[in-house]
A and B are shown apart, each in its own frame.
Chain A
């Protein structure tokens, strides 16, 4: 292999490169809204991303959607790319309350207006807004419903979310704000199933072996509630009260069938749209006009009102008398 052949080859490539670089076409004059969510294969985050994207396009922005898969380092890289692409707005459902701070700060320093949705970070005055569902309030509501259906007595099991997740802790505290008011309602088992359907299935099977007099299961999210539901179905035991949290389409149809008693609908779509609207207001008027931390109330979904809801959003107005 002669090195003399290499030089013109490399030179040719470099000049071609420069040519293209100078041309630089497809310059869009619209502002870019970067939407980063935890994953694109989960209905909750899909709904959230799609709602934010649709609203931003409606308002005349370019939109790009990416997923960090709950990996702070992937998120860090994606935010770098957003900075390099001169994004104007970042709508972020972040990868960790602590591990996301430096990346959000870097984006803010680069002049990107950061709007955090669904999950907060443990730092203030970096993001323009942090809009989340009121998990504590929602969990308290669900705990009350669960206790009411059980008549304030009996035994139950609790399926917890991933222990490191703030929402798992918040929901657990919220449940017990209500449940602990009933001394005859006894928690006989509490297990983490890491938000996962298959893990919840296995945990529930084991719990049912140990406690055949169980009256109910309260789960930290719908996925785990559906896992528990499958395990109970297999067991062909008397009807058990199972409740979940999130308002996923699967949970809503289980409520319609009557297998799942209740869920808490997290208004993911509303939150995403709010964030985009506030970003738009910030760009047009220089301020969102709202405080940084915003909590959007959750709603209890039961068989009575299930038809008023779609995937992570209210689709029909509230009926009178509810």
Chain B
């Protein structure tokens, strides 16, 4: 019954999008973290999506292939009184782009809604299929 596979596809998408949302939350929360347990300022994280290929040309869901560190340069803020400031008075700030992250968040939440909607439609269809001939 291939309609049940829609549930697998939609749930894989929901899992992937919620992980993306988690990463966005981490980035936004750490947008001002100039240091961490390693002593380095926080680097923005980004998720990488890839299609789940179960073999052949079948329709596949989506998974998070990995979480990569954003390679964009770190921000430099001139704050000579800051305890983390270097000799020139600059503090290395995280390379989190708050606007990008907000857009990312909206995109993730819309995609999540899409998946929920697909699941509901499929559920209705399956329930109707159960009443065939009644």
- B and A form one assembly: no
Interface residues of chain B, those whose CB is within 8 Å of chain A, are none
